[in-house]
Amino acid sequence: MEKGINQRKTEHIRLCLTGNVEGVNKSTGLEGISFLHNALPEINFDDIRLDASFLDKKISAPFLVSSMTGGSELAEKINQNLAIAAEEKGWAIGLGSTRALLESDAHKASFLIRKQAPTVPLIANIGAVQFNYGYGAEECQRIVDMTGADGIVLHLNSLQEAVQDGGDLNFDNLLPKIEAVCKTLDVPVGAKEVGFGIDGTVAEQLYNAGISFIDVAGAGGTSWSQVEKLRSKDPLKKAAAEAFNNWGLPTKDCIVSVRSKLPDVPLVASGGMKTGVDAAKAITIGADVIGFARQLLQAATETEEAVMETMNQIELELKMTMFGIGVKNLDELKNTKRVSIMGNSLME
């Protein structure tokens, strides 16, 4: 029988698989971007390349299996399937919050996936708020050492914690603690939201504190206030959470805002990403790597082959988009003029 943090992780997975956990009347904003079809692409589809790099490692496509889960029996199967598929396809992969790895001996295998993904970028994950609850650089280094991660990302989830029963609510004075961790660890430290978005102002604060990469994790996909509302046994919190069912910064707005403040920071776009067309749109406005989470989750409960099939579809959609506008690599996609944002064509 799972208890405490392990049980919570299982509940999170099941709700994301079966519950109505998306924000209400909230989109990524990417529907405001459209591509201008090129009837004469002048390229060979077979010459289109998706290769990129992340955390100083080569990846076969600009994709990240976003942080989802760990620390439960169900998470073991999911993460094993995701890791095998990520290695096969050359995608980066992130772990779910690894606090459970230090606090519980149960289901450690759900985090120890380096054997299944020996060469791709692997990112560990811990809530930044834990720096106000006894965690620090030493615990982060232990997580990195145990998982063999190439980097660690600090997730920022204030609204989720506010709705979660027994949530950790002391977000006071975290920035200097984040800076201390960045200075101490010998791997890159990133920052991510969990579905409500990071804007340029916050990203700049984090970057100046030593954060190496930003994952905007914007609104338009899973809403963790909705997830925690469904879990909560507190009728007051459940009722209050309803007021936040359309909360957050759309993913598109986050990408544009962060890129305007930090033109060179490695930027991950996640939050409501569903297709390779979504990925292409995000890349044209400044993203370097695209994170997919719930789009892969159902397949990950089945087999690694099912995950790879979903990955293959996303890659094909990206290639087809690039073929449709006549670009053969990601640099050309980033600089294309064959895109329209809310009706304003960038074509010359």
Task: Tell me whether residue 46 is exposed, middle or buried, using C-beta atoms within 10 angstroms of its C-beta: 0 to 12, 13 to 18, 19 or more.
Answer: exposed
- Looking at the chain, the whole-number percentage of residues with pLDDT higher than 70 is 97
For residue 348, pLDDT beyond 80: no
Q: Residues 155-173: what's their mean pLDDT? A: 96
The separation between the first and the last C-alpha atoms of the chain, rounded to the nearest angstrom, is 62
For residue 11, pLDDT beyond 90: no
Band (pLDDT 50/70/90 cuts) for residue 9 is confident
Q: Which residue has the tokens 């997580």?
A: 143
Structure tokens at 312: 């293959």
- The whole domain housing 192 covers 4-345
Band (pLDDT 50/70/90 cuts) for residue 344 is low
- pLDDT tens column, 60-111: 999 999 999 998 999 999 999 999 999 999 999 999 999 999 998 888 999 9
DSSP three-state, residue 96: coil
- pLDDT tens column, 14-67: 888 887 888 888 999 999 999 999 999 999 999 999 999 999 999 999 999 999
pTM to 2 decimals? 0.95
Instruction: Write down the number of H helices and E strands in the chain.
Output: 14, 13
106: left (phi over 0), alpha (psi -120 to 50) or beta: beta
Count how many domains the chain has: 1
Mean pLDDT for all residues in the chain: 94
CATH number of the domain that 116 lies in?
3.20.20.70
pLDDT of residue 334: 98
- pLDDT tens column, 294-332: 999 999 999 999 999 999 999 999 999 999 999 999 999
For residue 337, pLDDT beyond 60: yes
- pLDDT tens column, 252-270: 999 999 999 999 999 999 9
Cβ-defined contacts of 37-42 (< 8 Å, 24+): 37/324, 37/325, 37/338, 38/324, 38/325, 38/326, 38/338, 40/326, 41/323, 41/324, 41/325, 41/326, 42/326
- pLDDT tens column, 191-200: 999 999 999 9
Whole-number Å distance between alpha carbons of 55 and 205: 21
Whole-number Å distance between alpha carbons of 182 and 186: 8
pLDDT of residue 1: 38
- pLDDT tens column, 115-145: 999 999 999 999 999 999 999 999 999 999 9
- Greatest Cα pair distance, the chain, in angstroms, is 62
Structure tokens at 254: 């986050």
